Every structure is written in structure tokens, then in C-alpha cells.
Amino acid sequence: MNRGFLYGDGFFESIRIVNGSVPLIQTHGDRINYAFEIYKFEPTFLADEEFLRGIALSYKSDGIVRINFFRDGGGKYLPECNEVAFDHSFREYSQPFFLPTSLDLEADLKKAPLAKGKLAIYPEPKPIVPWMTVKSLSSIYYVIAAKYKQEQELDYLLIENTKGHICEELISNLLIQKGEDFFIPSLKSGGVNGATQRFLLRNYGFAITEKNITMNDIEEADAVYSCKGSTGISRVI
């Protein structure tokens, strides 16, 4: 058994394939290399677009590829080395995928699919620690939160950090519109910096402001969007 299984010593990346292409491939690569730094991994390979495309398109249908990266070698809590091993798996997935394409973010988001539903705040705050800003193999916080979401019959579960600021939704990032202004939770608030959020910041950073988000901001927003790698962007409020 590897260190990812024994100690949660690693992270994963879920990559959507749509019509034989990988629309967020650049930001997936950015996030993987960021996670290598957080975990102090020393890969002997380049996790670049060629590497990711080779894995993703080795599966001959549309869906989601999950790549698990974990520290190689033995050791107990203290690892014997920092080299990286990985494995991957695939599942078919056919839900619609939407990203803005023009420079007019506001106009494009009017085309986003609607996925409205009941939402609430998870009562257990999330610690603001670097290793929880990537998709850790040690995901028990999100597992227990998902059980709570199910028990409360919620469609969306907002995650607060220990300072009382909303940093993300259980399985997505948030984009908030108020008038002509767009906001995301501060990147220092402890949320996972997802591939779709990275896409927005890369392409529309000029139109988006980071800020500390509270439930007041959610309730007073003209629109709230869910941003996740599996489906892109959808409107939830």
C-alpha cells in the first residue's frame, strides 16, 4: 500500500474531458504544480499540458479523469523521500459544461445554466492551512460535510473559515455578482483554488475582485455562480 492510502500523503486532480478536449488543462497544470510546492514533493517528471493531455485522452470517451499524486517510498509519518508517484482512473460523465468565451464576462454569464437550490452554512469551520487549499487525499473534512449536506437535504453547502468568512462551497468555488461588479472569496481565506476559478482569474482578473465574503454578501447578491471543474460555471442564485 502506498503513502497516499496509509497517510493521506498526497492530493488528487479531477480533469473533465469534453468532446475529446480538455478545456481547463492549463489551470489544472498550474494547480498540480502549486500542490507539489505545498506538499514539498520533488517530481521526476513535468506535470505540463502534454503530460495531462496524454493521460486524459488515453481514455477514448468523454468523462472525468482523476489523477492521484502521492509521495513515493516508505517511512511512517516521516517519509523516506519526496519523489512523486501517481495513478489515475476514469468515469464517464456527460453533464453540460459551460465557460465564458468573450471579454464581456457579464454578458456571457447570462448564458450560464441555472442550477438553483437550497443552501446553508456548514457549522464546522474550515482551518486556514495551505494543504487544505488543494484537493488532499486526506479529505475527511469534506466527507463529513457531505454527510451533513445530505442529512439537511441541501443542494449547496457553504464553507466558512475559522474567521467567519465564506471561502467556498462544498464542491465548488463561488463567484458573486452585485450590480456590474464580480467578487470571489479572498484567496487567503482558505478555500480550494479550483481550476475553473483559476480560469476566471487568468482570463477575467481585470473584472473580478477578491474580498472577504459573508452570508450577507450571498443574500444581497444579484447572482451567485458555482465554479467547478466538472461542469464549469452554473448559476445557483
DSSP 110: T
pLDDT of 182-230, one tens digit each?
999 999 999 999 999 999 999 999 999 999 999 999 999 999 999 999 9
Would you say 93 and 56 are in contact if contact means Cβ atoms under 8 Å apart? no
In whole angstroms, give the CA distance from residue 158 to residue 173.
10
In whole angstroms, give the CA distance from residue 151 to residue 137.
24
CATH of 105-235, one of 2.70.70.10, 3.40.50.300, 3.40.30.10, 3.20.10.10: 3.20.10.10
pLDDT of 47-99, one tens digit each?
999 999 999 999 989 999 999 999 999 999 999 999 999 999 999 999 999 99
Protein fold of 3-92: D-amino Acid Aminotransferase; Chain A, domain 1 (3.30.470)
What is the predicted pLDDT for the residue at 38? 96
Query: What pTM was computed for the model?
Result: 0.94
Domain limits, the chain: 3-92, 105-235
Would you say 14 and 65 are in contact if contact means Cβ atoms under 8 Å apart? yes
SS3 label, residue 125 = coil
